[in-house]
Structure 1
Amino acid sequence: MTLALTYPHHAATGAPQPLFSEALWAVAASVRQAVVESGSPWALSARALVAAASRLEVNGRQIASNWDFSQHVHDASGRQVLGICETDPSAPGLALVSVNGVMIANRPDLELSTVAHELGHIVFDVPPAVAEPTRRYRSVTAGPNCLDGATARSERRANEFMGALLVPPHPLHLRLVARARSERLPMTHAPHRGRPGCRVLPATTPPEALAGVIAALAGDFGVSDRFIEVRLRRYRLFGGDSR
């Protein structure tokens, strides 16, 4: 089955127009809706994402992908990286994705986020890459830059798509409220991008209580604690002033 996706783009080249976060979240939601998982209502699996990415139709353009998890992967300078998405003009519409199996060994959260990041490159960078070869790396493996500090536009876009795909705003807010209630943590009204009418955690939340909630949410969604921290900040679900 082919997964059809659309977003604002240049008709002649297929290149994405500048996309705000909400537009990326909408594309991620379409992908997430198409990925059926029976094991968890919250967490996706790398296997399911790879299967969904096998055949895509992006803004009317047919895209296929071939994934390899068995090789060491390096960037142009020879440094090991988590993953790479390449295209070749001799095979237009085909994404060649390599994920560094050694670096993600025994790290299912890292495998999942890397696959989701590379899927972002397939969705947004492969459609216009017909006339010339391209390479997109997921090169940072530790620290905040891995999730929210990339400088290149394509990397920022792939990171934001990855974040919203694996941990969308409404499901995260739903689980946050449930976890906070179970721990009897106070919540406050503040502007946010989660579920309308629901409260968020205030900045006065004790650090140890916040750490516990974050760890529980990371387990719910199959990602790292740092991943959850970034998404809570992006959706403004933590830090509201107490009222």
Structure 2
Amino acid sequence: MALNVEYPCFGSGEPTRLSAEAIRRLGADLRQRLLGYQARPFPPTDLFRRAASLRVNGRPLRIVWDAGHAVHDDAGKPVLGVCEHDPQEPATVMISLNAELLADQPEILRSTAAHELGHAIFDMPAAVAKGAARAFRSGAVAAGDAAPIDWREWRADEFMGAFLAPRRQLARAFAREASAFGAAIRWKVINEIPTPYVAANDVGWPAIDAIAGALAEEFGVTSAFIGVRLRKYGLVG
């Protein structure tokens, strides 16, 4: 049975300008419906199986996952993943994850899968409706590279972040870990949600890094990923 996903969009299927908070709510909600509420690493195969059939704003979307082959861009350069639509396959999106790069990196495999799922949800309905071939590829960017914001990539990243580490679950786990380190927990309201907050200067950045490492293991992601979410959610500063 197809799982319903809804967000404001134009008649073409293109999303309206969504706020980060709206995207995060959608990502967290879909995570709960697909994989449950608990903050724990999930087997990627569970995601592949459960996110194979969606209905996005009333449009059916079949997702075919492949994590068993190498994936390259148009120039032949290896990339982490790709989300694409073939006009010959109506209402079907293919998400391919690079087995050569990700086989021994389950944390990166999860984040790449969630990122590409974000593209499938937000970018592919319009492509499918138009019968247009379209692809979105994930790859590493060299340090120091500067480029204009790609809003489609930003949207997929915000979705990924909330899908893998929903705000409420991460805030609860962060408060627990921070308390264990003796950090002073302060509280503030963000988007009408009481949120624990730790001043890094109070506890020290080495402690914040240690907390991020513990949370990374709990959520099945990298420490760098947790560090980004802590800042974006306003849990540390």
String of CA shifts for 1:49-72, please: whole Å, max 9, x gaps.
212220000000000011111221
Residue aligning to 1:24: 23
CA contact (8 A) 1:73 1:84 kept: yes
Which of 197, 200, 203 is equivalent to 1:203?
Answer: 200
1:136 aligns with 2:141: no
Q: Distance in 1 between matches of 2:157 and 2:84?
A: 17
- Contact 1:28/1:164, CA 8 A, preserved across alignment: yes
Deviation at 1:156? 1.0
AA paired with 2:30? Answer: V
Which residue number corresponds to residue 97 of structure 2? 99
User: What SS is found at the alignment partner of 1:158?
Assistant: helix
Shift of 1:78: 1.8
Q: Superposition pairs for residues 116-135 of structure 1, below 5 Å? A: 116-130=114-128, 131-135=131-135
Instruction: List gaps (5 residues or longer) in structure 2.
Output: none
Q: What TM-score, normalized by structure 2, do the two folds share? A: 0.91
1:84–1:137: 8 Å Cα contact kept in structure 2?
Answer: yes
Bigger share in strand: 2
- Superposition pairs for residues 50-199 of structure 1, below 5 Å? 50-130=48-128, 131-140=131-140, 151-190=149-188, 192=190, 195-196=193-194, 198-199=195-196
Counterpart for residue 231 of structure 1: 229
Give the TM-score of the pair, scaled to structure 1: 0.88
SS at match of 2:71: coil
Q: Sort the Cα spacing of 1:195 and 1:218 in 2 relative to 1 into closer, same or farther, 3 A.
A: farther
Could you tell me which amino acid in structure 2 is paired with residue 31 of structure 1? L
Question: Structure 1 residue 195: deviation in Å?
Answer: 4.6
Return the letter of the residue paired with 1:22: E
CA shift in 2, pair 1:235/1:150, >3 Å:
farther
Q: How many residues align?
A: 233
Taking the aligned partners of 2:197 and 2:225, their CA distance within structure 1 comes to 18
Give 1 or 2: higher helix fraction.
Answer: 2
1:9 aligns with 2:9: yes
Report the Cα offset of residue 189 of structure 1. 3.8
- Which stretch shifts more, 133-142 or 163-172? 133-142
Offset at residue 2 of structure 1 (A): 1.3
* Percent identity (aligned): 35
Match of 1:220 among 207, 218, 221: 218
SS in 1 for 2:54: strand
Q: 1:61 to 1:5 in 2, by over 3 A?
A: same
Please state whether the residue corresponding to 2:99 is helix, strand or coil.
coil
Taking the aligned partners of 2:216 and 2:170, their CA distance within structure 1 comes to: 10
